[in-house]
């Protein structure tokens, strides 16, 4: 029996479509190259790597003997900490009762897609895991086209066009997932775009899931907008998700949260998520929750840590952005998170001359010929048979450009974070310098194609 036939007999139709997440796959590819002694500039994986804030680290150590299952909704101290922090950030009161903790925000998103009725609207491009999660839940996904230049801004007409096309083909869009600041673009919504999206969703009775896992790594005040702000989280059909992985560099501890409106709608969905959680993951790790209660707090030391983290990411990400722009690539200026999203379409002629016609081909050429790992735009929903602007996009993550290994993370990390607060600080980042040099060499290679 062929292996495909065997797979089809073994797995459900939905599960046979699942593949190893592209981000994890590139990490393994990089590891293989490193193991065989080759050098790689690793821009492929968005894993935050700053040293843990010291009180957070201590809290985790101190709780290592907490082995009980905690409540499904999460530790009360942590739910209070999340509600305090989000109340301050969004500037209206949020109760701990509205918060659910889980082992990462990914399972919460998975649960929400599984539980909520209807099909899903998703901006193109979006984070790699939403699409498989949506299709695994048996839903149809409809891409909302974004601005050709920044690949993030959404207009009322693109929303209406996607909605109408979905309905015309028998779709039933009832959910919209948004993510700002965005993985992969590094862009963040303006107030005007938030207004456009929330108004559209309200008028069509669409639930917004607002993935704000990068909200505390935002570079510009005018881009701090949230679909949950202005009291909307307490009145509208909107659900907020976030977690410990990005700002706090503790992805492996697996702590995420969701916040629900205190309305009939919110309570119904929250109850379903809790029931789902109770049958699926039970609760997030107890020591990690104790540590997260410190991390999410509004204490001066955590405020300082968040500020330092955001400033270092800003410095590194903007330097990479400027270098790419100087290389002649089309690249939107990042406004948050730790991603840069260049398009190589100014070099379409040279790429096609080399037989490179898609973002997958481009990413393969970069890693094989230039030793640079970056993810192809197609894994974020870009159309690899479409216009060059989308077809030649790559996502570059800057989060691995700080430390060579775990030892450096702790020997240099706190100094890097503290140093960024000094006036006119310009931290030394040798891995960033190497990345820029490698990209300049890659573009020079492209330019030399006749």
Ligand X SMILES: Cc1ncc(COP(=O)(O)O)c(C=O)c1O
Smallest separation (angstroms) from ligand X to the CB of 104:
3
Name the phi and psi angles at 339, rounded to 5: -130, 150
Query: What single-letter DSSP state applies at residue 174?
Result: E
Nearer to ligand X, 22 or 311 (CB): 22
Binding residues (CB under 6 A) for ligand X: these are 46, 104-106, 127, 179, 183, 211, 213, 243, 245, 251, 256
Taking the C-alpha atoms of residue 245 and residue 257, their distance in angstroms, rounded to an integer, is 11
Q: Is 123 helix (H, G, I), strand (E, B) or coil?
A: strand
Taking the C-alpha atoms of residue 395 and residue 98, their distance in angstroms, rounded to an integer, is 34
- The residue with its CB nearest to ligand X is 104
Q: Give the torsion through C-alpha atoms of 27, 29, 31, 35, to 10 deg.
A: 180
Q: Give the torsion through C-alpha atoms of 197, 183, 174, 137, to 10 deg.
A: 180
Nearer to ligand X, 105 or 218 (CB): 105
How long a stretch of residues is the chain? 450
Nearer to ligand X, 356 or 397 (CB): 397
Smallest separation (angstroms) from ligand X to the CB of 2:
35
Taking the C-alpha atoms of residue 123 and residue 178, their distance in angstroms, rounded to an integer, is 7
Nearer to ligand X, 103 or 388 (CB): 103
Smallest separation (angstroms) from ligand X to the CB of 7:
27
Taking the C-alpha atoms of residue 210 and residue 226, their distance in angstroms, rounded to an integer, is 8
Query: What single-letter DSSP state applies at residue 332?
Result: P
Smallest separation (angstroms) from ligand X to the CB of 105:
3
Nearer to ligand X, 45 or 265 (CB): 45
Smallest separation (angstroms) from ligand X to the CB of 45:
9
Nearer to ligand X, 107 or 388 (CB): 107
Smallest separation (angstroms) from ligand X to the CB of 302:
18
- Spatial strand order of the sheet with 99-102 comes to 99-102, 256-259, 238-243, 207-211, 173-179, 119-124, 141-145
Smallest separation (angstroms) from ligand X to the CB of 411:
26
Nearer to ligand X, 115 or 354 (CB): 115
Of 278, 245, 272, 274, the closest CA to residue 69 belongs to 278
Smallest separation (angstroms) from ligand X to the CB of 419:
27
Beta bridge partners of 106: none
Taking the C-alpha atoms of residue 179 and residue 188, their distance in angstroms, rounded to an integer, is 8
Contact by Cβ (8 Å): 237, 208 = yes
Nearer to ligand X, 110 or 163 (CB): 110
Contact by Cβ (8 Å): 355, 364 = no
Smallest separation (angstroms) from ligand X to the CB of 27:
12
The total of other beta-carbon atoms located within 10 Å of residue 71's CB is 14
Smallest separation (angstroms) from ligand X to the CB of 422:
30
Pairing assessment for the beta strands 375-376 and 339-340 based on DSSP bridges: unpaired
Nearer to ligand X, 106 or 446 (CB): 106
Alpha helices in 169-259 (DSSP H): 191-203, 232-235
Q: Give the torsion through C-alpha atoms of 275, 276, 279, 283, to 10 deg.
A: -90
Nearer to ligand X, 94 or 375 (CB): 375
């Amino acid at each position: 029996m062929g292996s495909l036939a065997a797979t089809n007999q073994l797995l459900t139709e939905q599960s046979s479509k699942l593949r190893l997440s592209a981000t994890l796959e590139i990490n393994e590819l990089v590891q293989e190259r490193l193991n065989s002694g080759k050098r790689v500039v690793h821009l492929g994986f968005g894993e935050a790597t700053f040293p843990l804030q010291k009180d957070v680290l201590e809290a985790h150590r101190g709780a290592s003997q907490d082995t009980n299952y905690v409540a499904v909704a999460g530790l009360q101290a942590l739910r209070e900490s999340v509600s305090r922090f989000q109340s301050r950030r969004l500037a209206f009161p949020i109760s701990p009762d509205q918060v659910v903790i889980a082992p990462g925000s990914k399972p919460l998103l998975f649960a929400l897609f599984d539980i909520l009725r209807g099909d899903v609207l998703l901006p193109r491009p979006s984070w790699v895991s939403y699409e498989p999660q949506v299709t695994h839940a048996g839903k149809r996904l409809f891409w909302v086209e974004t601005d050709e230049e920044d690949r993030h801004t959404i207009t009322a007409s693109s929303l209406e066009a996607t909605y109408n096309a979905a309905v015309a083909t028998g779709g039933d869009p009832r959910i919209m997932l948004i993510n700002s600041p965005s993985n992969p673009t590094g862009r963040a919504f303006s107030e005007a775009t938030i207004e456009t999206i929330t108004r559209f969703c309200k008028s069509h009775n669409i639930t917004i899931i607002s993935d704000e896992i990068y909200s505390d790594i935002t570079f510009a005040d005018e881009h701090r907008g949230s679909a949950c702000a202005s009291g909307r989280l307490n009145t509208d059909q909107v659900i907020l998700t976030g977690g410990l992985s990005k700002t706090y560099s503790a992805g492996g501890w697996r702590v995420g949260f969701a916040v629900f409106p205190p309305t009939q709608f919110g309570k119904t969905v929250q109850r379903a998520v809790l029931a789902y959680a109770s049958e699926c993951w039970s609760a997030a790790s107890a020591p990690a929750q104790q540590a997260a209660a410190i991390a999410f707090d509004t204490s001066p030391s955590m405020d300082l840590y968040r500020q330092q983290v955001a400033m270092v990411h800003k410095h590194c990400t903007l330097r990479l952005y400027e270098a790419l722009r100087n290389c002649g690539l089309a690249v939107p200026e990042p406004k948050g998170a730790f991603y840069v999203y260049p398009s190589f379409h100014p070099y379409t002629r040279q790429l096609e001359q080399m037989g490179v016609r898609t973002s997958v081909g481009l990413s393969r050429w970069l890693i094989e010929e230039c030793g640079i790992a970056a993810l192809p735009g197609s894994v974020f929903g870009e159309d690899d048979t479409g216009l060059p602007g989308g077809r030649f996009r790559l996502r570059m993550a800057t989060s691995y450009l700080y430390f060579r290994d775990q030892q450096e993370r702790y020997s240099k990390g706190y100094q890097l974070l503290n140093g960024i607060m000094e006036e006119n600080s310009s931290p030394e980042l040798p891995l960033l310098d190497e990345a820029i040099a490698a990209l300049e060499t890659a573009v020079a290679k492209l330019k030399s194609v006749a």
